[in-house]
Amino acid sequence: MTVHLLRMAVRIESIAKLKEIQAERRASTKGKRLHTFTRNVPRRIDELTDGGSIYWVVKRLIRVRQEILGITQETNDEGRKYCAIELSPEHVLLEPRRQKAFQGWRYLKQEEAPLDLPAGRAAETETDMPPEMMAELKELGLL
């Protein structure tokens, strides 16, 4: 059964900034692969690599996801182990949903994951309303 990771996008103010930083990282690597790194290795690797995604929390909202392509455990120069999660460069916009702050990452079950936005609909350019306000109005049933 597929499972996902929920991860905070620390010091990231928007989806555009997340894309910009990841594009810079891809350009700086020889293999043009995109990775995110964590200290701990997920135990449910088979479920994550079977169609799982990282759901990014941007400014207290789950806003975008990227498919997980692979997970490897590596060792740094100091001999400490860490986890490298290879991501698809494609970003899938989601129906924004509030998320409390946490450290590291959390598992996210398939049925608990926010829905993808319909193709062609851009959450950030659709309205001048801030995403936080849109999410709150949606939770209240007003949107």
User: Percent of the chain scored above 90 by pLDDT?
Assistant: 61
Query: Looking at the 3D structure of the chain, how many domains does it have?
Result: 1
Residue 93 is part of which domain span? 3-139
Q: Count of alpha carbons within 13 Å of 111, Cβ hemisphere only?
A: 1
pTM of the complete model? 0.82
Both tokens assigned to 130: 């801030």
- pLDDT one-digit tens code per residue, 32-91: 789 999 998 899 999 999 999 999 999 999 999 999 999 999 998 999 999 999 999 999
CB 83 within 8 A of CB 42: yes
- pLDDT one-digit tens code per residue, 24-39: 888 887 767 899 999 9
